[in-house]
Structure 1
């Protein structure tokens, strides 16, 4: 398990207004990531890819900006304005590194509610400056190993492990997994197989690993491979059904459209995916009850988008986003940004009103503070050492809960109440569902 690192505490001396500061640069400076005590703003950053040929998440920075407008209209946080800087990582490692470098240059106290596939590019600069990374989307190893990362969900590991358990409960004896041919995609087959095993499909064969390009405009070849693998199943091991699950982010609908267009497509094959790949706006856009995703299972981090626990977020979007059509409140990226900023606000409000807000004080509030309530959207969040996961690859996961949903009559609806805990699956042992 990764041990926590803390930098030595820095002492900040507040100078009287009449004192003239002199430095080598000829001005009064502040430590990196520090907003001086008083009414100075608290500056943070949110980044995500926009305008690319692969996955785009423009709603996340838009949600961050709406959140800041809401908070500031209500007096700020402890009397300070919340200022959000946004950055486009373009789904490129160089751009991700540039966003991190800009965060350091702008003296942000945290990067919050962000999406990037390039943890190796962005985490090192953040660690060098001591900047906490709160509520990443959960795509990279670094998000679950860095002591400066504070994830609010279990990321793709929890989703895929949970998807395996959901498919096992659906009597899937043979599963084809269609996933991106990327480093992040390489870890998914083992997680899905662990979920299948712990969900009761102990006799099932390992999932068939179907690699697919991340930015394809058609997935006919991958769909044909998945179909042929499913068609070979004779129903004799682990379950009565053949199933196909796809985890392709924003391209999942493209895959299932290709799958449904196959001339020999078998309607008895059960389909599945994870939330983010399946959301209500996508179902509506692709035909409602006639959508190629009709009947599909979906595993998510949070309650269904129709749940009343999302009403506070929807009210903020309605009143402070000013019709910004980038924000889809059904999108797990937008939802993750909301929860990440909820965690940041709670951590900041736990500080004394006259305390300096620095990268270190934010980390201390998260490392040592009370558990954070998210209005029932997640279990209570706390990142104390004893809360970390006993898993070598994912020690920073503190929220191992998922939800089961399904597309029925054109709507994404919950399959069961409460959360399912996949902690033991992620740790590599047997596990059982638990209600939150």
Structure 2
């Protein structure tokens, strides 16, 4: 039923179950788990690893989590116990995502980490079971309403508000169009953009929907660019990269802003990526720093070629945050993990994001997004194939521009 993947990562034959890390058996000449003993501490990651129905692939999400788990086990596991990760591919289907969540619960996992499911499906199942999701990438209302949701980043609200703030407050653009992928979370994302624009006395020149499996992006990009000096791309990074390539091919002089693209996507775009504005929810890999350096070292140790974007960094942080919290517990269960997360006031996120305080959301967001704990973002622009920061530090896009 199992075959080896990167020496000690097992992959199940199930179409949805992508991998199990540590505690699979076999040997590891890098010493990842040979000195660990006791019952494994089990966690899961539910993600759109390969979601053709949505035109989305995020293998970097899995790879970053794998690297983090291997590093935790090299450093002694969870108080001497091996940490074991199961990665479940949603395939972009909310029904499969729900099944992934039920499997995690039934298999005795202590928590889920780094969940990224554009079509949803997992969070309601986790919530009904009072099961903690740590570092879930918040895209829809359920992610901000669940008392068992502990996101590290601001997700849709922060990304949308960042895009408008960057264009209007930093670049000085007033005629802003929106091109968004049709998905369950689209409505919430568009509301965020409308609020951010309204706060600045602006309205979108137009909202243009992009069907999930559109092959020719030209008509959509052409439409949204009409009358717009800049366009916000509300979509997964892999889709945004396709749109950028299309816009450059059309010779459009329109400014574009998207969530941070992965290393591989920037490389593939080449010169087409130049001048693209970026809203990063976490410190970009190109900005460096101790936390970024640690993540890249751990990927190298796991024989993983770094392909880093917000989803990857978020998954890496989520694993390490779980390990921090679990190490403080005598008994590691979903209930004890959730209780510990509820008390967290200074969760170490390696300076890639501010320390996580889950005891209260940031001021000004509790009424709308009660589980938004960290709204900060990083403004950037692509220069020479990398994200160059436009501000030295993270900013709160919900606050008025200075």
TM-score, normalising length: structure 1? 0.78
Q: What is aligned with 2:122?
A: 122
> C-alpha distance in 1, partners of 2:195/2:384?
31
> C-alpha distance in 2, partners of 1:72/1:96?
27
Query: C-alpha displacement at 1:272, in angstroms?
Result: 1.6
Q: Is the 8 A contact 1:389 1:398 kept in 2?
A: no
Query: C-alpha displacement at 1:406, in angstroms?
Result: 0.3
Q: What is aligned with 1:313?
A: 295
**Correspondence for 1:248 among 220, 235, 238:** 235
- Relative distance call for 1:229 and 1:182 in structure 2 (3 A) is farther
Q: What is aligned with 1:173?
A: 174
SS of alignment partner, residue 373 of structure 2: coil
Asked whether 1:286 is paired with 2:261, we answer: no
Q: Is the 8 A contact 1:160 1:191 kept in 2?
A: yes
Query: C-alpha displacement at 1:75, in angstroms?
Result: 1.3
- Structure 1's unaligned 5+ residue stretches are 1-37, 231-241, 426-430
Asked whether 1:104 is paired with 2:82, we answer: no
Q: What is aligned with 1:159?
A: 159
**Correspondence for 1:408 among 373, 383, 400:** 383
Q: Which has the larger radius of gyration?
A: 1
- Relative distance call for 1:110 and 1:396 in structure 2 (3 A) is same
- Structure 2's unaligned 5+ residue stretches are 1-36
Q: What is aligned with 1:297?
A: 277
Q: Is the 8 A contact 2:284 2:309 kept in 1?
A: no
Q: What is aligned with 1:334?
A: 312
Query: C-alpha displacement at 1:66, in angstroms?
Result: 2.2
Query: C-alpha displacement at 1:388, in angstroms?
Result: 7.6
- Deviations along 1:212-270, whole A, 9 cap, x unmatched? 1123222111011012232xxxxxxxxxxx112212211112112222233xx442x22
**Correspondence for 2:332 among 328, 333, 357:** 357
Q: What is aligned with 1:144?
A: 144
Q: Is the 8 A contact 2:362 2:374 kept in 1?
A: no
**Correspondence for 1:343 among 316, 321, 327:** 321
> C-alpha distance in 2, partners of 1:159/1:255?
18
> C-alpha distance in 1, partners of 2:401/2:143?
25
SS of alignment partner, residue 56 of structure 2: coil
**Correspondence for 1:227 among 214, 225, 228:** 225
**Correspondence for 2:247 among 237, 243, 259:** 259
Kindly report which structure 2 residues correspond to 1:183-198, keeping only aligned pairs within 5 A, or say none.
183-198=184-199
> C-alpha distance in 1, partners of 2:383/2:362?
36
- Deviations along 1:175-219, whole A, 9 cap, x unmatched? 111001222112223322333454xx43x3334111111232221
Query: C-alpha displacement at 1:156, in angstroms?
Result: 1.7
Query: C-alpha displacement at 1:386, in angstroms?
Result: 6.3
> C-alpha distance in 1, partners of 2:364/2:86?
32
> C-alpha distance in 2, partners of 1:207/1:80?
56
Q: What is aligned with 1:135?
A: 135
- Relative distance call for 1:40 and 1:389 in structure 2 (3 A) is farther
Q: Is the 8 A contact 2:94 2:119 kept in 1?
A: yes
- Relative distance call for 1:187 and 1:420 in structure 2 (3 A) is same
> C-alpha distance in 2, partners of 1:389/1:182?
27
- How many residues of Structure 1 are paired with residues of Structure 2 in the alignment? 360
Query: C-alpha displacement at 1:433, in angstroms?
Result: 5.0
Q: What is aligned with 1:18?
A: none
> C-alpha distance in 2, partners of 1:257/1:312?
32
Structure 1 window deviating more from structure 2 (48-57 vs 77-86): it is 48-57
Runs of 4+ aligned residues of structure 1 deviating over 4 Å after TM superposition are: 385-389
Q: Is the 8 A contact 1:175 1:244 kept in 2?
A: yes
Asked whether 1:69 is paired with 2:54, we answer: no
> C-alpha distance in 1, partners of 2:269/2:148?
40
Q: CA RMSD in A?
A: 2.0
> C-alpha distance in 2, partners of 1:122/1:389?
28
Asked whether 1:90 is paired with 2:91, we answer: yes
Query: C-alpha displacement at 1:283, in angstroms?
Result: 2.1
- Relative distance call for 1:70 and 1:97 in structure 2 (3 A) is same
Query: C-alpha displacement at 1:79, in angstroms?
Result: 1.7
SS of alignment partner, residue 187 of structure 1: helix
- Relative distance call for 1:346 and 1:388 in structure 2 (3 A) is farther
Q: Is the 8 A contact 1:101 1:125 kept in 2?
A: yes
